[in-house]
Structures are given as C-alpha cells and as structure tokens.
C-alpha cells in the first residue's frame, strides 16, 4: 500500500514528491546499476527519506564518491561523517594497526586507546566538562544525556525545538521535533515541551529571537519542573544560526531556572563551523554535550556524551552500558580524526573557505530570483529556494529539479524542509574542487530558473 506523504513531513531529505526519481532511474543509470538497485529495493525494508536509492557506490575518496559505473560525485551531504574526507589514509593506517592487536575490549576491562581518546576529548572542552561516556552512535549519546539529566535534576520534563533532529531511536524522536519520525510510533517519552525555534527567514519568531527567549522562559516558569533543554547549537538540516545574544540569554535562563543545557552537536562539531565545537562561537558552555557522526572519521561508528566533573556521582546507575562502549577501534578512529583536524589546520582552512562560500552564494542570490535566502557558517550552508521573494512560498518542485540537475553533473547534497539546498562538503575539499562544485550548482540553478 502506497502511503501518501504530507508536505509537512518534508524534513531531513528529498522524499521524491515528483516523478524525478523515476526519470533518473530510467535514464541516468546503466543496466548493471539498475539490477543492483532492484535487488536493494527487494531486500531492504523501505523507509521514508532514503528509499528508493538512486545509485550504487563503489568507491569514496576525500571529497568525492564514485558509483559502480564510474560516475563521480562531489559529496556535499555525507551524512555529516566526512569532516576529514573519505578513506583518510592516516585513519585507515591507524585503524589497521589497532586491528592487529586489540580489536575489542569487553566490559570490566579498559584499554589505552579509549583512555587516550577520553583524555583528548576532555582537554578540548572548557571548564569542568571532562567526564565522558562513549557509545557507537549519536542517538545513544542523546539517550545517555537524557538519562543523566534525569539523574542529576530528579526531573523528567524536557524542552526542545520543533523541527529539531536528535536521532531516530524512540527516546531521541520523543525529544525531536520532526513529525515524520513519530508517525505510527504511539506513546513516546512523557513530559516533552516543544517550542518554535528562532529562525531568521520565516516562521513564528522570524527575526525576533527575543520573542523565542520570552516563550522559552514562559515554559520554564509555567512548568516549573523542567529538567533539561536539549537543542542543536546550530540547526544542521536547514542551517539555522542563532545569534550570540540568543545563546547567552538562553544559557542564563537555564541557570536561573535550574535547567540543564544539553547541546546536540552530533552533525556540526569537529570543525564543520570553523571551530572544534559550535558552542565556541557563542562563549557559552553546555552542561552536557553530545558528539557523533564524524567523530569516527567516516569509517567507524563512534559517539560520545561529555558532562561536568561534578555530575560524576551516579556510579550505581547504568547510564550507557553499551557493548562497544570502550571500543579500541572507535577510540583510535576518534583520536585520529581530532589529530588530523589539528595537524592539518582544518579549522583555519574552513574559516577561509567560508569567506569564499559566502561571496559566491551571495552572488548566486543576486543572479537568481529563485534564491530567497542564503545562510551559513564554516562549511555548512543553506540556500533557500522560493517561488516569490515577497511571499516566500517554498519552491519545492524547483528544489528537486535543481538537485537532479546537480546529480547529473556530479554534485550531491541534501534537500531539507522541501526547499533548502544544504551544502556540507568534506572539510578537506580543495579550493579547485569547491569552485568546480559551485559551478555545477550555478549551471543547475540557471537551467531550472530559465
């Protein structure tokens, strides 16, 4: 039975609202690829946001992915794991060496890679943020954070933003704000209070962050027993960037009402914004920090929850207790990823790339009336397409057309909330490659607008 997808479920990616995917499969892939895609559709359980697949990959290297037919794409999506580029040679070497000795560390034992990794994470964080639990994925890191917050505050209620994404497990979708992940899921965690997020271009609090702060305080005051505020420091999916004023005031409100601030930086930490952590842009500290995705270098699944030293008082509570909790392979992957970012000055490079990206995308906006808004930081950028700049009506069909025009030319990216082209390349991408990718985007925008 074909389930009709409501337009408000257009969130994390393209969901094929037009015939474009069918046309792509009929004309843009060879026979070998078609056979493999048919097998993929036959054996994998279908789900929203990723079915059907559009190509079959054979190779990935640095800023690109290559299909079995030899078609190469600049990957400006990457599921947010490719900060240090795909198949990073140093990472492969270090993981391979670790596999020759200790490949797994069972419970009640520890290992030197895990200890060194935890020590490195603690050294990067400010203040007393130096207690770590490791886990294989971001959703689990969020789950640990939620359990820890309950243990600390003895309160189960949580505030989060509508449209936020904190993972796909039941506890994570309970605090998340995207309705597509909660469909058919029945009762979830109780005590979740969602409020509209601060956005600059559209929405209830458009260009009025103070109203959002006023609403946040209203909920804190009315409920009275909120334990935690979980939020993405910078919204990844459609690139929403709060001001320093917003974050300073939100931190103050959490302090005033005894609410723990949980920052979810799973997709945006590790240099994506030009800082190791996005909260560094705002001169604030979280009470709990969630990391993941690129932490394993795009090879091994690795995540972490970091909290304050004074919260290390729950030795009798199983906050994590995951099978691969102190994986020596994951620890080596995480440690190498951080070392590579530092040794290759990727933070400075990203800051320079951001200047170039802003200049080029602003030029695109002047050239194409289809572009309503451009926003970004570091190597995380969103281009919002509209049918009319006055009404701001979302150009959803046009966004899908631009995406396929780019795919045919060799550029892949995420389409978010239906009409935002989200650009998130490997931080290692060269300036020549960046220029080439943006030329593809410019040509594709021109082909659709004209």
- Could you tell me which residues come within 8 angstroms of residue 238 by beta carbon, excluding any fewer than 6 positions away? 163, 382, 384, 416, 417, 420, 422
Higher pLDDT, residue 7 or 206: 206
Q: Does position 177 have pLDDT exceeding 90, yes or no?
A: no
Q: What pLDDT score does 5 carry?
A: 47
Residue written as token pair 């950028």: 381
pLDDT(51) > 80: no
Residue 404 near residue 54, CB atoms below 8 Å: no
The token pair at 402 is: 């631009």
Q: What is the pLDDT of residue 13?
A: 58
pLDDT bin (cut points 50, 70, 90) of residue 374 is very high
Ranges 160-174, 183-197, 200-214, 363-377, most confident: 363-377
341 or 23, which is more confident? Answer: 341
Instruction: Tell me which residue of 95, 147, 144 sits closest to 301, measured CA to CA.
Output: 95
- Is the pLDDT at 16 greater than 90? The verdict is no
Q: Average pLDDT in the 229-238 region? A: 97
The pLDDT value recorded for residue 4 is 46
Q: What is the mean pLDDT of residues 128-155?
A: 97
pLDDT of amino acid 1:
42
The more confident residue out of 293 and 183 is 293
Which residues fall within 8 angstroms of residue 369, CB to CB, at 6 or more apart? Answer: 389, 449
Q: Using one digit for the tens of pLDDT, what is the confidence trace for 306-315?
A: 999 999 999 9
In sequence order, which residues have a C-beta less than 8 Å from that of residue 235 and are 6 or more positions away? 161, 163, 164, 197, 241
User: Which of 12-26, 160-174, 346-360 shows the lowest mean pLDDT across its residues?
Assistant: 12-26
Mean pLDDT of the chain: 94
Residue 9 confidence (pLDDT) above 80 = no
The pLDDT confidence band at residue 203, using thresholds 50, 70 and 90, is confident
CB neighbours of residue 446 within 10 Å: 15
Residues ≥6 apart with Cβ < 8 Å to 348: none
Mean pLDDT of 260-276: 98
Tens digit of pLDDT for each residue in 419-432?
999 999 999 999 99
How sure is the predictor about 342, in pLDDT bands with cuts at 50, 70 and 90? very high
pLDDT above 50 (res 304): yes
The secondary structure of 385-423 as a DSSP string is EBS-TTT--B-HHHHHHHHHHHHHHTEEEEEETTTEEEE
- Give the pLDDT of residue 447: 97
pLDDT at residue 219 tops 50: yes
Single out the residue of 403, 134, 378 nearest to residue 270, CA to CA. 378
pLDDT given for residue 3 in this prediction:
41
What digits encode the pLDDT tens for the residues 90-101? 999 999 999 999
For residues 83-108, average pLDDT: 97
Mean pLDDT of 198-224: 95
Cβ neighbours of residue 398 under 8 Å, at least 6 residues apart? 370, 385, 387, 419, 448, 449
| Torsion angles phi and psi, residue 67, rounded to 5 | -85, 170
pLDDT, residue 47, reads: 82
Is residue 89 scored above 60 in pLDDT?
A: yes
Mean predicted confidence (pLDDT) in 375-386: 98
Q: Write down the pLDDT at residue 48.
A: 77
pLDDT tens, 234-262?
Answer: 999 999 999 999 999 999 999 999 999 99
pTM of the model: 0.95
| Rounded Cα distance, 357 and 417, in Å | 22
Q: What is the pLDDT of residue 6?
A: 54
Share of the chain above pLDDT 90, in %: 88
Q: pLDDT (tens digit, 9 = 90+) per residue, 392-445?
A: 999 999 999 999 999 999 999 999 999 999 999 999 999 999 999 999 999 999
């Amino acid at each position: 039975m074909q389930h009709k997808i409501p337009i408000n479920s257009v969130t994390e990616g393209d969901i094929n609202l037009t015939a474009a995917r069918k046309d792509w499969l009929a004309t843009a892939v060879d026979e070998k690829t078609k056979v493999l895609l048919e097998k993929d559709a036959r054996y994998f359980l279908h789900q929203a946001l990723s079915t059907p697949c559009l190509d079959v990959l054979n190779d990935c290297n640095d800023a690109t992915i290559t299909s079995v037919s030899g078609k190469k794409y600049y990957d400006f999506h990457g599921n947010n794991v490719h900060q240090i580029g795909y198949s990073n040679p140093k990472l492969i070497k270090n993981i391979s060496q670790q596999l020759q000795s200790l490949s797994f560390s069972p419970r009640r034992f520890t290992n030197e890679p895990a200890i060194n990794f935890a020590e490195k994470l603690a050294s990067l964080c400010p203040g007393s943020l130096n207690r770590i639990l490791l886990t294989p994925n971001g959703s689990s890191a969020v789950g640990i954070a939620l359990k820890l917050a309950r243990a600390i505050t003895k309160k189960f209620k949580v505030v989060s933003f509508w449209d936020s994404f904190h993972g796909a497990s039941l506890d994570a979708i309970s605090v998340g704000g995207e309705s597509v992940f909660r469909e058919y899921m029945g009762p979830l965690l109780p005590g979740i209070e969602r409020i509209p997020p601060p956005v600059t271009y559209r929405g209830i609090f458009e260009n009025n962050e103070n109203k959002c702060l006023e609403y946040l305080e209203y909920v804190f005051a009315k409920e009275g027993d909120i334990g935690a505020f979980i939020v993405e420091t910078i919204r990844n999916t459609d690139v929403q960037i709060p001001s320093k004023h917003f974050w300073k005031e939100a931190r103050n409100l959490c302090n005033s009402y005894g609410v723990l601030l949980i920052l979810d930086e799973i997709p945006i930490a590790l240099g994506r914004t030009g800082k190791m952590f996005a909260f560094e842009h705002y001169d604030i500290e979280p009470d709990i920090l969630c990391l993941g995705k690129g932490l394993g270098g795009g090879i091994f699944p690795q995540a972490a929850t970091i909290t304050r030293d004074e919260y290390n008082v729950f030795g009798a509570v199983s906050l994590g207790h995951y099978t691969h909790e102190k994986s020596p392979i994951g620890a080596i992957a995480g440690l190498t990823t951080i070392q590579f970012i530092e040794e290759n000055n990727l933070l400075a490079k990203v800051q320079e790339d951001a200047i170039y990206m802003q200049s080029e995308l602003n030029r695109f906006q002047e050239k194409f009336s289809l572009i309503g808004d451009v926003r970004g930081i570091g190597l995380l950028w969103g281009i919002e397409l509209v049918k009319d700049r006055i009404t701001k009506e979302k150009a959803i069909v046009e966004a899908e057309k631009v995406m396929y025009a780019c795919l045919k030319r060799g550029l892949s990216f995420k389409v978010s909330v239906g009409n935002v082209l989200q650009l998130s390349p490997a931080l290692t991408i060269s300036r020549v490659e960046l220029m080439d990718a943006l030329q593809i985007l410019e040509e594709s925008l021109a082909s659709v607008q004209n």
